[in-house]
Amino acid sequence: MSKQNLWSQAAASLEKACEDEPLATKWKESFANLCKNQQNEIRIERLPARNAARLILHSLGRGHALIKQAGDWKEPIIGSSKKSSRINLARGIMWRYVISYCGWEQCTKSLNITQKSQDLILQSAGGMARPCLSKSQIERIERWLPAPIEIDRISKDQYSEISKISFSDFLGLQKQYKSFPYWLLKEEQGSILADSAILAIMRNICVRGSLSPSKAENWGMTGLFRNGTDLITVSHSHFISHLLSIVRQ
Protein backbone atom coordinates (compact mmCIF):
# COMPACT_ATOMS: atom_id res chain seq x y z
CA MET A 1 0.00 0.00 0.00
CA SER A 2 1.32 3.47 -0.93
CA LYS A 3 2.21 6.05 1.68
CA GLN A 4 -0.50 8.36 0.32
CA ASN A 5 -3.18 5.66 0.67
CA LEU A 6 -2.09 4.99 4.25
CA TRP A 7 -2.49 8.64 5.14
CA SER A 8 -5.82 8.87 3.30
CA GLN A 9 -7.15 5.99 5.38
CA ALA A 10 -5.84 7.50 8.62
CA ALA A 11 -7.29 10.92 7.77
CA ALA A 12 -10.69 9.42 6.91
CA SER A 13 -10.72 7.50 10.19
CA LEU A 14 -9.74 10.58 12.19
CA GLU A 15 -12.34 12.77 10.48
CA LYS A 16 -14.98 10.22 11.44
CA ALA A 17 -13.54 10.03 14.97
CA CYS A 18 -14.13 13.76 15.47
CA GLU A 19 -17.86 12.89 15.65
CA ASP A 20 -17.69 9.24 16.76
CA GLU A 21 -16.88 8.87 20.47
CA PRO A 22 -15.83 5.15 20.47
CA LEU A 23 -13.55 5.62 17.46
CA ALA A 24 -12.13 8.84 18.94
CA THR A 25 -11.37 6.96 22.14
CA LYS A 26 -9.45 4.33 20.16
CA TRP A 27 -7.31 7.00 18.51
CA LYS A 28 -6.68 8.71 21.85
CA GLU A 29 -5.70 5.42 23.48
CA SER A 30 -3.35 4.58 20.59
CA PHE A 31 -1.14 7.46 21.78
CA ALA A 32 -1.17 6.48 25.47
CA ASN A 33 2.19 4.69 25.53
CA LEU A 34 3.82 6.87 22.85
CA CYS A 35 3.24 10.03 24.91
CA LYS A 36 3.86 8.62 28.37
CA ASN A 37 6.13 10.94 30.32
CA GLN A 38 6.07 10.70 34.10
CA GLN A 39 7.65 14.13 34.55
CA ASN A 40 4.95 16.05 32.67
CA GLU A 41 1.23 15.90 32.26
CA ILE A 42 0.25 14.49 28.89
CA ARG A 43 -1.80 17.08 27.07
CA ILE A 44 -3.64 14.62 24.85
CA GLU A 45 -4.79 12.60 27.89
CA ARG A 46 -6.44 15.69 29.38
CA LEU A 47 -8.61 16.23 26.30
CA PRO A 48 -12.04 14.78 25.60
CA ALA A 49 -11.74 11.94 23.07
CA ARG A 50 -13.17 13.83 20.09
CA ASN A 51 -11.00 16.88 20.81
CA ALA A 52 -7.99 14.57 20.98
CA ALA A 53 -8.94 13.14 17.57
CA ARG A 54 -9.08 16.68 16.12
CA LEU A 55 -5.63 17.45 17.54
CA ILE A 56 -4.18 14.22 16.13
CA LEU A 57 -5.75 14.88 12.73
CA HIS A 58 -4.41 18.46 12.64
CA SER A 59 -0.88 17.55 13.78
CA LEU A 60 -0.44 14.44 11.66
CA GLY A 61 -2.01 16.17 8.66
CA ARG A 62 0.37 19.13 8.76
CA GLY A 63 3.31 16.80 9.33
CA HIS A 64 2.29 14.55 6.46
CA ALA A 65 2.01 17.53 4.08
CA LEU A 66 5.57 18.65 4.84
CA ILE A 67 7.06 15.15 4.62
CA LYS A 68 5.24 14.57 1.32
CA GLN A 69 6.50 17.92 0.01
CA ALA A 70 10.07 16.88 0.79
CA GLY A 71 9.57 13.46 -0.78
CA ASP A 72 8.10 14.97 -3.94
CA TRP A 73 11.10 17.29 -4.40
CA LYS A 74 12.99 14.87 -6.64
CA GLU A 75 15.71 17.29 -7.84
CA PRO A 76 16.44 19.50 -4.82
CA ILE A 77 18.63 22.16 -6.40
CA ILE A 78 18.79 25.67 -4.92
CA GLY A 79 20.73 28.26 -6.90
CA SER A 80 21.16 29.42 -10.45
CA SER A 81 19.20 27.23 -12.85
CA LYS A 82 21.80 28.04 -15.51
CA LYS A 83 24.53 26.25 -13.59
CA SER A 84 23.42 23.34 -11.39
CA SER A 85 26.61 22.86 -9.40
CA ARG A 86 27.27 20.27 -6.71
CA ILE A 87 27.02 23.07 -4.12
CA ASN A 88 23.54 24.03 -5.35
CA LEU A 89 22.55 20.38 -5.14
CA ALA A 90 23.98 20.08 -1.61
CA ARG A 91 22.07 23.21 -0.57
CA GLY A 92 18.84 21.73 -1.95
CA ILE A 93 19.38 18.37 -0.26
CA MET A 94 20.00 20.07 3.09
CA TRP A 95 16.88 22.23 2.90
CA ARG A 96 14.76 19.34 1.67
CA TYR A 97 15.86 17.59 4.87
CA VAL A 98 14.79 20.61 6.97
CA ILE A 99 11.32 20.45 5.40
CA SER A 100 11.01 16.73 6.16
CA TYR A 101 12.28 17.23 9.73
CA CYS A 102 9.73 20.02 10.32
CA GLY A 103 7.07 17.53 9.26
CA TRP A 104 8.45 14.89 11.63
CA GLU A 105 8.56 17.43 14.44
CA GLN A 106 4.96 18.44 13.76
CA CYS A 107 3.90 14.79 14.01
CA THR A 108 5.83 14.12 17.22
CA LYS A 109 6.39 17.23 19.33
CA SER A 110 2.91 18.66 18.91
CA LEU A 111 1.53 15.34 20.22
CA ASN A 112 4.10 14.99 23.04
CA ILE A 113 5.53 11.75 21.62
CA THR A 114 8.51 10.90 23.80
CA GLN A 115 12.06 10.57 22.50
CA LYS A 116 12.07 6.89 23.46
CA SER A 117 8.96 6.30 21.34
CA GLN A 118 10.43 8.29 18.47
CA ASP A 119 13.58 6.17 18.54
CA LEU A 120 11.54 2.96 18.47
CA ILE A 121 9.67 4.23 15.40
CA LEU A 122 12.91 5.30 13.71
CA GLN A 123 14.57 1.97 14.49
CA SER A 124 11.62 0.07 13.02
CA ALA A 125 12.34 1.92 9.76
CA GLY A 126 16.00 0.87 9.77
CA GLY A 127 17.59 3.63 11.84
CA MET A 128 19.82 6.49 10.75
CA ALA A 129 22.46 5.52 8.19
CA ARG A 130 25.85 7.20 8.37
CA PRO A 131 27.21 8.81 5.19
CA CYS A 132 29.87 6.96 3.20
CA LEU A 133 33.00 9.05 3.76
CA SER A 134 36.12 8.88 1.62
CA LYS A 135 39.55 8.66 3.23
CA SER A 136 40.22 12.36 2.52
CA GLN A 137 36.87 13.39 4.02
CA ILE A 138 37.57 11.37 7.17
CA GLU A 139 40.95 13.08 7.45
CA ARG A 140 39.33 16.53 7.11
CA ILE A 141 36.98 15.78 10.01
CA GLU A 142 39.71 14.19 12.13
CA ARG A 143 41.78 17.39 11.91
CA TRP A 144 39.11 19.08 14.01
CA LEU A 145 39.14 16.39 16.72
CA PRO A 146 41.31 15.99 19.81
CA ALA A 147 44.25 13.64 19.25
CA PRO A 148 43.31 9.96 19.90
CA ILE A 149 46.03 9.65 22.56
CA GLU A 150 44.35 12.43 24.55
CA ILE A 151 40.94 10.78 24.31
CA ASP A 152 42.35 7.53 25.71
CA ARG A 153 43.93 9.20 28.72
CA ILE A 154 41.40 11.78 29.84
CA SER A 155 38.40 11.51 32.11
CA LYS A 156 34.85 12.28 31.01
CA ASP A 157 35.04 15.72 32.66
CA GLN A 158 38.30 16.57 30.85
CA TYR A 159 36.80 15.32 27.57
CA SER A 160 34.12 18.04 27.58
CA GLU A 161 36.81 20.70 28.08
CA ILE A 162 38.97 19.48 25.19
CA SER A 163 35.91 19.28 22.92
CA LYS A 164 35.34 23.03 23.26
CA ILE A 165 37.71 23.74 20.38
CA SER A 166 36.61 20.95 18.09
CA PHE A 167 34.45 20.08 15.12
CA SER A 168 31.49 20.08 17.54
CA ASP A 169 32.22 23.67 18.53
CA PHE A 170 32.43 24.74 14.89
CA LEU A 171 28.95 23.28 14.31
CA GLY A 172 27.63 24.94 17.46
CA LEU A 173 26.52 21.66 19.03
CA GLN A 174 25.11 21.60 22.54
CA LYS A 175 26.99 19.69 25.22
CA GLN A 176 24.87 16.54 24.93
CA TYR A 177 25.63 16.39 21.20
CA LYS A 178 29.43 16.73 21.39
CA SER A 179 29.95 13.12 20.31
CA PHE A 180 28.34 13.72 16.90
CA PRO A 181 31.64 13.77 14.93
CA TYR A 182 32.56 10.42 16.48
CA TRP A 183 29.18 9.06 15.37
CA LEU A 184 30.03 10.22 11.83
CA LEU A 185 33.35 8.40 12.00
CA LYS A 186 31.75 5.24 13.48
CA GLU A 187 33.83 5.51 16.64
CA GLU A 188 32.76 4.29 20.08
CA GLN A 189 32.29 7.79 21.52
CA GLY A 190 29.40 8.34 19.12
CA SER A 191 27.43 5.26 20.18
CA ILE A 192 25.49 7.17 22.86
CA LEU A 193 23.56 9.22 20.28
CA ALA A 194 20.05 8.01 19.50
CA ASP A 195 18.48 8.40 16.07
CA SER A 196 16.17 11.20 17.25
CA ALA A 197 19.23 13.11 18.51
CA ILE A 198 21.02 12.72 15.16
CA LEU A 199 17.97 14.07 13.31
CA ALA A 200 17.79 17.07 15.66
CA ILE A 201 21.52 17.80 15.23
CA MET A 202 21.14 17.73 11.45
CA ARG A 203 18.23 20.14 11.58
CA ASN A 204 20.06 22.53 13.93
CA ILE A 205 23.27 22.79 11.91
CA CYS A 206 21.24 23.53 8.78
CA VAL A 207 18.87 26.13 10.21
CA ARG A 208 21.55 27.94 12.22
CA GLY A 209 23.89 28.06 9.25
CA SER A 210 26.63 26.23 11.15
CA LEU A 211 27.28 23.95 8.19
CA SER A 212 27.49 25.55 4.76
CA PRO A 213 26.64 23.53 1.62
CA SER A 214 30.31 23.76 0.55
CA LYS A 215 31.50 22.37 3.91
CA ALA A 216 28.85 19.64 3.77
CA GLU A 217 30.11 18.67 0.32
CA ASN A 218 33.80 18.81 1.31
CA TRP A 219 33.22 16.74 4.45
CA GLY A 220 31.03 14.17 2.70
CA MET A 221 27.96 15.03 4.76
CA THR A 222 25.54 15.72 1.92
CA GLY A 223 24.60 12.03 1.90
CA LEU A 224 23.72 12.31 5.60
CA PHE A 225 20.88 14.71 4.80
CA ARG A 226 19.67 12.53 1.95
CA ASN A 227 19.62 9.55 4.32
CA GLY A 228 17.78 11.60 6.93
CA THR A 229 14.99 12.53 4.54
CA ASP A 230 14.63 8.89 3.49
CA LEU A 231 14.48 7.73 7.13
CA ILE A 232 11.80 10.27 8.06
CA THR A 233 9.71 9.35 5.01
CA VAL A 234 9.82 5.62 5.80
CA SER A 235 9.36 6.17 9.56
CA HIS A 236 6.30 8.34 8.97
CA SER A 237 4.77 5.59 6.84
CA HIS A 238 5.51 2.96 9.51
CA PHE A 239 4.07 5.24 12.18
CA ILE A 240 0.77 5.79 10.35
CA SER A 241 0.52 2.07 9.56
CA HIS A 242 1.13 1.22 13.24
CA LEU A 243 -1.55 3.64 14.44
CA LEU A 244 -4.09 2.30 11.95
CA SER A 245 -3.43 -1.28 13.04
CA ILE A 246 -4.12 -0.33 16.70
CA VAL A 247 -7.30 1.57 15.90
CA ARG A 248 -8.65 -1.31 13.80
CA GLN A 249 -8.21 -3.89 16.56
Residue 177 shares a structural domain with residue 238? no
pLDDT for residue 116 is more than 60: yes
Amino acid 154: pLDDT: 45
The domain tally of the chain equals 2
Q: How many CB atoms lie within 10 A of CB 99?
A: 19
Residue 16 shares a structural domain with residue 115? yes
Residue 116 shares a structural domain with residue 236? yes
Cα 37 to Cα 30: distance, rounded to the nearest angstrom = 15
Residue 161 shares a structural domain with residue 219? yes
Q: Which of 98, 93, 103, 101 is nearest to 73 (CA)?
A: 93
What interhelical angle do 21-30 and 3-17 show, nearest 10?
Answer: 130
Residue 163 shares a structural domain with residue 213? yes
What interhelical angle do 115-124 and 222-247 show, nearest 10?
Answer: 100
Residue 187: burial class (beta carbons within 10 Å; 0-12, 13-18, 19+): middle
Residue 171 shares a structural domain with residue 78? no
Query: Percent helix, strand, coil in the chain (nearest 5)?
Result: 70, 0, 30
Amino acid 100: pLDDT: 97
Residue 95 shares a structural domain with residue 163? no
Residue 15 shares a structural domain with residue 121? yes
Least confident residue range of 58-62, 101-105, 113-117, 150-154: 150-154
Amino acid 83: pLDDT: 58
Residue 91 shares a structural domain with residue 211? no
Amino acid 210: pLDDT: 80
Amino acid 171: pLDDT: 79
Residue 147 shares a structural domain with residue 198? yes
Amino acid 139: pLDDT: 87
Model confidence at 198, pLDDT cuts 50, 70, 90, reads very high
Average pLDDT score over residue span 9-18: 96
Residue 113 shares a structural domain with residue 139? no
Residue 45, domain extent:
3-126+230-247
> HSE of 121 in the Cβ direction (CA atoms, 13 Å)?
27
Whole-structure pTM value:
0.86
Residue 10 shares a structural domain with residue 97? yes
Task: Give the distance, in angstroms, between the CA of residue 177 and the centroid of all CA atoms in the same chain.
Answer: 14
Residue range 31-71, pLDDT digits in tens = 887 887 755 556 788 889 999 999 999 999 999 999 999 99
